[in-house]
Structure 1
C-alpha cells in the first residue's frame, strides 16, 4: 500500500512540461485541477488507512490476547477470547460480548481491529471478553436459534442465561487483574444474548447494554411483523447463517449460489414462497424448514420470546435502538416497556436515535437517505450516554444517568430526555379517514362510506423505489424514503390533512383502527404515517442527489399485519367475503414533530414486496400455497359514522 501511495505521489509531483506543450494552457489548467482533486482523494485514502492501521496496532501493542475453552455445567466447552491490558499495575472491569457471528480472528497472535461498544473503550482500560455461543464456530454443543429460556433448570440443564452465568463465574476466578465487575453488550443477535444474560444474572454482572436486541420473531422482530413474513431479509440471512456445522470451525460456510436479478423480480419469480426451497435451498437449511412448518404463533415461536422472562432484572440496563431500524425496532421498545412494567425500581434506560440497524456503533449518525440531522447524533450518544453508563457501573466514575429515556425527535432533529417513555405529558389524538382522501381530527366522514382498491398478489406494491440485487440484505434507508413513488398507484389509498396550523409532535405508540371488507378470505394490510413537506420547501444545499423536497412524502412509521391474525396470532381466521370487520394494527413508537405548514398523510395498501412475502389473499397455509391460491382481492376501507376508520397517536401537550 505504501509503495502504491509513493508511486502515485511521484506522478502528481512530476513537472507538467514532461506531458504538455507550454502553449497548451487550457489542457495544462485542466491537468492541474484534476491532479489537485486526485491529490485530495489520495490524502483521504491514506489518512483512512493510516488511522485503521493505528487502531489495529494500538490493540496489538497494548493488549495481551488469550484463548480459553470454558466448561459449562453440562460439560460443553465454549470458545472464549480475552484481551487484557498489558499494564498489570491496575485492576480492570470486564466487558463481554457473546455472539453467533464468530469472535475471530482466531489464534493468540492475531488481533481484532475493534473491541467494545465504542472506539474509546480500548483506550479507557477494560478487559474484553468475546465468546462464540454454544454450537457456533469454535464452541462445542448444539446451536438453537433464539434458544428458549428455562425458568426451572436441573443442575446440568442449560440455556443462554446459564451459559452466561457459568462463563462469568470462570472469568472472575481465572482472569488476572479483574476488579470483580462485569458488563455485557451486543448488537442485534448479540443484543439478544446480552438481555438473556441479564435474566437470573450472575451477581458480578452489574451492567448490560442490549443494542437492537431481538425479543419476538413472530410479532415484531426480524422474521415476522404481526405474522407477515419478512421474505427478503430472512432468506438472505438464513441461506448462509442457517447452514448446519459439521465440526468446529473458524470459517463461515458459503451458501448456495444462484442467478441473481433484482430483488423484486427474483422474489416474484419465486412466488409461491415454497419455490425458494424447491429451486434453491432444497431443504439444506433446517431453521428455514422450521419457519415453513410453524406458520402460526404456536409453541415454537412463543417459547422463543424473551419478554415473558424479563422479571426481577438485577443489572443496570441501557437499551439502544434506531428509529429507522427495519430489523429490530420492536425489540428495544418492548424490552424496555416490559422491564419498566415488571420492575418498578429497575435501573433501565432507553436510547432511540435516528439510526438504521447498529449504525450508532461506529458511524457519525449525522444523516440518512435524503436527510441531514444537524449534528453527529451517534457521537453524542457514545460520549454523553454510553461511556458514562459503563464508567459508572463498572469503574465507579461519575454518576448514574439522570433520565430514563433519551429520545431523538426526527422532525425537530433534537435529543430530548424523559423520566419515562412514552412521556407523561401526552394526550390521545385521533385522525379519521374520510371521503376524497381527506384526513381530519374531527369525525366528519363525508358522503362516501368507503374507499377501495384492487390488490393483485402478482403485482405487489414495492417496499422501496430502489432496485437492488436479490442477494442484498435490503435497502437500509427505506424507512425514511420518499413515498411519492407509490402514492399514485391505484392499489394504494392516500389520505392527508390540510396544512398544519402549528407544530404537532407525536411521541409513543401508534394504532390504526380500520374497518375493512374483502372479496376474498385473507389479505395483508400496510399502514404508513407520512410527513408531507410543503410545495415550497427548499432543496438541500449542496444537493448532489438532486432531491426535490417540494411535496416530499417522508416516511415516519409503517407496519404490516397479516389479516388472518387480526383476532389471534395462535388461531388465524378467514375473512367472510364482503363482511365488514375491524382490524387493529399496532405500529411501533415514533417521536416526530410535524412542522407548521406540513401535512400528515396515511397510506394504506396490501403488499410491501419483497421485504414481506406476497399474501395469496386466500385463507391458506401460505408457506405451502400453490399458484392457484393467489387471487386478486377487492378491498374496501370504510370511513363512516358506523365504521369510523382512524389512526390514534400520542401527542405531546403544548
Structure 2
C-alpha cells in the first residue's frame, strides 16, 4: 500500500511539473519567439542543440547565454527544465534573448563529451554564430552555476569581441592552476583526489552505447522526437557512501556498473599531467580581459581557488579590467545562493537571514555591459559583498580579504597528548620551546569520515555544511588544538594559512586540517578544511617521498572563511590524515594509490617546538 501511495504521489508531482511547464511555455509564447532544437554548427561540423527564446519584434537585442551538460528539454519533467523556461521568461521580459545550449555529446548535441575537456572553440564558435543573427545586437553575456559556469573563464581567454561580460557562480571546476591552488578543476586538493567527481560522473555520464539521433536530423524531426524521447539515462540508485569505499579506485565505477570511459582516464591522471592543459580549464597564465561578476559560497568545494582567481584579476595590469571585477560570497552550499531564507540553516548551524537580491545584481550587470547602460548603475554595488557567519550579516569591502585585515599567529602546543577532544592540545600565541611531538596512527581501513564540510555532488556520502564535530573529535587519530576563550568579539575573514612540521614511518601519507568555531557550551562548528599529500609538498611537478625519522615542512593550501567568533568562543583546529570520502584515502605505500587494494598503517607525527614551530595564521579584521 505504501509503495502504491508513493508512486501515486510521484505521478502527481510529475503532472504538476508538467502543468507548470506548459503554463510557462504558453506565457512565453505570448511575448517571445521560441526556436527550439536549433542545431548550431561548430567549426568541425559537430552541431550543438540550442534553444533560443527572443522577444517578438524587429529590434536587435543582447543575448544571455547559458551552456550546460544538463538536460533542459522542456518536454520532460524535472527542475532543470522548469527553471530553464522560467529564466527564459524572465530575460525575455527584460528585453534579452535567452539562449541555452547543450555541450557537445550531451543529449541532442552531436559529438563526444569530455568533462573538463570540451573544446574552447565551441564557446567561441557559438559567440560568432549568435552575434551574426539579425535579432542580435552583437553583445553576449554568459551566466551559470557549477557546470554551466566552469567553461566561462577559459573561453573568455579567447577574447571574442561579442563576449561582453560573464556571471560565474560556483565555478571552481573551471580553474586549473591559480596562485596557491593547483586543483585541476576540483579533481585535486593538495594532491589528494576529491571524490566528488566519482559520484558526479556516475550520475551524469552517458554510456558510449547510448541511443543517438541520426546525423543530419532536421530541426522539425528533433522537436518532434524530443516530445517522446528524452535521451536522459536513468541511473539505478546507489549507496554512494558504500560505493566510494571500494578499492582499487580504478575499478570503483565498474563495481557499481557505472559508465567508465571518462573516469578511467581521469583517475590515473596526476596533477602535473599535460592533459590538464588541453581541455577547458582556465589557468592563470591565460589572458583574461572580460568584466566578471563572481559568486562564491562558504560551504562550497571550490571557495579558495575561486577567491584566488578574483584577487588575481583584481591585480590585472589593465585598470579597466581590474575595476570590472565584482565578488559576492554567500554562506550557502554549492549553487544554493537564491535558496537562502530569513533563517538560513546550513548543516546544523542557523546562519540567520542570508537573503540577497541576486536578480537585481544580475539586471544591473547586464544592463551596463550588454545594453550600454550608464556605468553609474554599478556605483551602488560594493566591490565585495560577503556574509559573516556568527555575526549573521552581509558586509562590504573594497578587497578580499577586507581592508584592515591582519594575520595573527597561533602556535600548536601540547605535552605530546593532543589526541582527541580529551587531549592537551592548545593554540598559543608564543612559540613553544621543547614540546614533544604528537603522534597518531592513521589506518586507511579506518579513516576519519567526512562530517559536514565544504563539499558538493557526493550523493548520500557526505552532507555539506556546519555540524558539531565533537563526536568526531573523540577519535584518537584526530589531534585537537584549541585556543583560550577569546576576550573580545573577533571577526576572522580571509585566507587561513597553516605550516606544519611532520614526520612519518610511511613513504607517503596525507595531512588534513580543519578550522572550527567552538561555542561556550562546547558545540564545535566546522568552517573550512584542506589536505596535503606529502609526496607533493614541494610542488606538483615532482614526487618526493618521505624517509622515516626525518622532519618535513608542509605548507597547507589555504582555507577560507568569514566567521565572527564572539567573546567567550574559542578557535580550534583539528589535524589528522584523512577526510574520507571527500578525499580519497592515501594508502600510505608510496605507490600509485589509484590501482592499489591494500594499505599500510602510518605512524604520523606533528612537531611543535622552537626548532619545528607548527603554526596557523588567522586573518583578523581590525575595525
TM-score range (shorter-chain normalised) is 0.7 to 0.9
Tell me the residue number matched to 2:202: 239
Tell me the residue number matched to 2:40: 70
Conserved 8 A contact 1:408-1:591:
yes
Q: Distance in 2 between matches of 1:373 and 1:631?
A: 41
* Deviating more after overlay: 426-435 vs 403-412: 403-412
In the alignment of these two chains, the number of paired residues is 564
SS at match of 2:481: strand
1:342 is matched with which residue: 316, 339, 345?
316
* Deviating more after overlay: 485-494 vs 447-456: 447-456
Tell me the residue number matched to 1:226: 190
SS at match of 1:307: coil
Tell me the residue number matched to 2:125: 166
Conserved 8 A contact 1:242-1:288:
no
Q: Cα distance, 1:66 vs. partner? A: 0.5
Aligned pairs (5 A) from 1:263-274: 263=241, 265-268=242-245, 270-274=246-250
Instruction: Summarize the Cα distance change of 1:376–1:412 in structure 2 as closer, same or farther, 3 Å threshold.
Output: closer
Q: Cα distance, 1:565 vs. partner? A: 1.1
Q: Distance in 1 between matches of 2:282 and 2:304?
A: 13
Tell me the residue number matched to 2:451: 464
Q: Say yes or no: does 1:253 pair with 2:233.
A: yes
Instruction: Summarize the Cα distance change of 1:463–1:117 in structure 2 as closer, same or farther, 3 Å threshold.
Output: farther
Conserved 8 A contact 1:227-1:569:
yes
Give the TM-score taking structure 1 as reference length. Answer: 0.79
Asked which structure has the greater CA Rg, the reply is: 1
Tell me the residue number matched to 1:318: 293
Conserved 8 A contact 1:71-1:78:
yes
Q: Distance in 2 between matches of 1:340 and 1:492?
A: 38
Give the TM-score taking structure 2 as reference length. Answer: 0.83
Q: Cα distance, 1:342 vs. partner? A: 3.5
Post-superposition Cα deviations, 1:254-300, rounded to whole Å, max 9, x if no partner, equal: 45x58x4571x4433x1342442563458x51221112322342212
2:273 is matched with which residue: 298, 305, 314?
298
Conserved 8 A contact 2:461-2:581:
no
Aligned pairs (5 A) from 1:136-535: 136-147=106-117, 159-160=119-120, 162-176=121-135, 178-213=136-171, 214-216=173-175, 219=183, 221-231=185-195, 233-246=196-209, 248=212, 250-255=230-235, 257=236, 260-261=238-239, 263=241, 265-268=242-245, 270-276=246-252, 279-281=255-257, 284-304=259-279, 305-313=281-289, 315-326=290-301, 328-345=302-319, 346=321, 347-361=324-338, 364=341, 366-377=344-355, 379-383=356-360, 385-397=361-373, 399-401=377-379, 402-436=381-415, 437-445=424-432, 448-464=435-451, 472=459, 474-477=461-464, 479-535=465-521
Q: Cα distance, 1:128 vs. partner? A: 0.4
SS at match of 2:312: helix
1:600 is matched with which residue: 563, 568, 571?
571
Q: Cα distance, 1:134 vs. partner? A: 2.4
Q: Distance in 2 between matches of 1:465 and 1:134?
A: 34
Q: Cα distance, 1:244 vs. partner? A: 4.1
Conserved 8 A contact 1:531-1:555:
yes
Instruction: Summarize the Cα distance change of 1:281–1:53 in structure 2 as closer, same or farther, 3 Å threshold.
Output: closer
Q: Distance in 2 between matches of 1:173 and 1:261?
A: 48
Conserved 8 A contact 1:532-1:598:
yes
Tell me the residue number matched to 2:535: 564
Q: Distance in 1 between matches of 2:20 and 2:114?
A: 39
Conserved 8 A contact 2:250-2:264:
no
Tell me the residue number matched to 1:645: 614
SS at match of 1:586: coil
Post-superposition Cα deviations, 1:368-419, rounded to whole Å, max 9, x if no partner, equal: 2223333242x33333x33321222223446125432222112312222222
Aligned pairs (5 A) from 1:579-618: 579-618=550-589
Q: Distance in 2 between matches of 1:298 and 1:622?
A: 16
Q: Cα distance, 1:120 vs. partner? A: 4.7
Q: Distance in 1 between matches of 2:339 and 2:604?
A: 45
Conserved 8 A contact 1:435-1:447:
no
Conserved 8 A contact 1:221-1:330:
no
Conserved 8 A contact 1:352-1:406:
yes
Q: Distance in 2 between matches of 1:364 and 1:531?
A: 23
Q: Distance in 1 between matches of 2:99 and 2:124?
A: 14
Q: Cα distance, 1:444 vs. partner? A: 4.3
Conserved 8 A contact 2:184-2:276:
no
Tell me the residue number matched to 2:421: none
Aligned pairs (5 A) from 1:611-630: 611-627=582-598, 630=599
SS at match of 2:556: strand
Tell me the residue number matched to 1:635: 604
Post-superposition Cα deviations, 1:138-159, rounded to whole Å, max 9, x if no partner, equal: 22233332227xxxxxxxxxx3
* Deviating more after overlay: 640-649 vs 162-171: 162-171
Conserved 8 A contact 1:404-1:421:
no
Q: Cα distance, 1:604 vs. partner? A: 0.3
SS at match of 2:594: helix
Conserved 8 A contact 2:32-2:92:
no
Conserved 8 A contact 1:118-1:382:
no
Instruction: Summarize the Cα distance change of 1:592–1:303 in structure 2 as closer, same or farther, 3 Å threshold.
Output: farther
Post-superposition Cα deviations, 1:159-203, rounded to whole Å, max 9, x if no partner, equal: 32x322322222232252x33322111111211122233222322
Q: Distance in 2 between matches of 1:83 and 1:511?
A: 47
